[in-house]
Amino acid sequence: MIRAAIMGATGYAGGELIRILLGHPEVEITALASRQFAGRSIDNAFPSFRGLLKITCETPDPKVIATKADVVFTAVPHGTAMEAVPVLLEEGKKVIDISADFRLKNRAVYEEWYIPHTAPHLLEEAVYGLPELYRETIASANLIANPGCYPTAVILGAAPLVRHGWVKGDALIADAKSGTSGAGRSSKQSFSFCEVNEALRAYSVPRHRHLPEMEQVLADIAGGKFSVTFVPHLIPIDRGILATLYIDLVRPTSSDELLEVYHRSYQNEPFVRVLPPDCLSDVAMVRGSNFCDISLCVDQPSNRAIVLSAIDNLVKGAAGSAVQNMNIQFGLPERSGLESVPLFP
């Protein structure tokens, strides 16, 4: 059994890691760290786990955590991760970081969008944990930078076109809609029930922190520069991201041709489902699962591809992809622990 620890166990991504790992046949959860719930049973943070897991949360101390685990998931805020991760690596642990701290290769870009980086030497070593693009390097990585939720939806939706060089102007528009769990387990007034329910608004326009991450990865695929106009919106649902991509095509293309490219690109991927023409992606159909559902068509008058990419932001957008990365790192079947069927309704 692989011994797994979670730092930041009582946020939504942490809770989702617990939920998934409880069903993983090769993993045992051996330690949970949480500043807020230190000294208290995990049941206090998540009554849903009552009777399923008997662990008391401990104060986050990476040295101590390292003694108890083979792999550590850091589901902590950016800034906090860059403190803990170097210690965990020094202790010889595999680390899967769910924060943003190791996603950007360029320190200056990181510091422009976030804060000064205290572990910049690890930026190069870290592997961007999107298995559909980087499976081989993930297999041998010690430090995985788990992708952001929006970048996951956008990149998986765009990658086949970008890779084939079908994108006019090396640019796209991503209009993304996210459920509220994407904001974390928050106590901000602006995420309180009555401020989100029956509301509908964009935020962080036009510069959201996930933008440089998308552009970096799409540029890597394109083999050059790539730019994105990105507008995220907050939706009154718990889980799910739907990214609607508008991509100008280099030459006249039919919806069928496009669909064929996507089918070929993802035919061996266990968690990407390319939908038939009469079926549009819906976050309700991936809830609780590690699937990314992609549907698409060409708007003929503008010769523009419209791609709809749906994920559960807490699973494929966070904890699920983290476990998928762990499976790859440890040589396990990639689907292990990730076979749960979407919960609908």
- To a second copy, the closest distance from the beta carbon of 194 in angstroms equals 4
CB atoms within 10 A of CB 205: 12
- Using CB atoms within 10 Å of the CB of residue 185, give its burial: 0 to 12 exposed, 13 to 18 middle, 19+ buried: middle
When asked if residue 254 is in the footprint of a second copy (CB under 8 A), the reply is: no
When asked if residue 343 is in the footprint of a second copy (CB under 8 A), the reply is: yes
CA distances from 121 to 107, 117, 126, 220 (A): 9, 9, 10, 20
Contacting residue, 194, 224, 268, 331, with a second copy by CB under 8 A: 194
Judged by CB under 8 A, the chain residues 81 through 140 that form the site for a second copy are: none
When asked if residue 264 is in the footprint of a second copy (CB under 8 A), the reply is: no
Contacting residue, 285, 294, 311, 332, with a second copy by CB under 8 A: 285
**Residues pairing with 143 in the sheet:** 95
One character per residue 42-61, x = contact with a second copy (rule: CB under 8 A)? -x--xxxxxxx---------
Residue 47 or 331 with smaller CB distance to a second copy: 47
| 194 part of the active site | no
When asked if residue 12 is in the footprint of a second copy (CB under 8 A), the reply is: yes
Contacting residue, 4, 19, 97, 218, with a second copy by CB under 8 A: 19
Residue 327 or 329 with smaller CB distance to a second copy: 327
Contacting residue, 105, 282, 330, 336, with a second copy by CB under 8 A: 282
Q: 328-339 burial by CB neighbour count: b if 16+ within 10 A, else e?
A: bbeebebebbbe
When asked if residue 175 is in the footprint of a second copy (CB under 8 A), the reply is: yes
Q: What end-to-end distance do the CA atoms of the chain give, in Å? A: 34
CB atoms within 10 A of CB 198: 8
Tokens representing 171? Answer: 């640019």
Contacting residue, 79, 86, 120, 342, with a second copy by CB under 8 A: 342
Q: Is 198 left (phi over 0), alpha (psi -120 to 50) or beta?
A: left
When asked if residue 24 is in the footprint of a second copy (CB under 8 A), the reply is: no
When asked if residue 181 is in the footprint of a second copy (CB under 8 A), the reply is: yes
Tokens representing 24? Answer: 């993983």
Q: Which residue has tokens 């190069």?
A: 124
When asked if residue 341 is in the footprint of a second copy (CB under 8 A), the reply is: yes
- To a second copy, the closest distance from the beta carbon of 166 in angstroms equals 17
Residue 89 or 214 with smaller CB distance to a second copy: 214
Q: Which of 329, 32, 324, 229 minimizes the C-alpha distance to 337?
A: 324
Torsion of CA 228, 114, 182, 197, to 10 degrees: -90
Distance of alpha carbon 291 from alpha carbon 125, whole angstroms: 28
Residue 150 or 291 with smaller CB distance to a second copy: 291
Contacting residue, 3, 22, 91, 107, with a second copy by CB under 8 A: 22
Which residues have a catalytic role annotated? 149
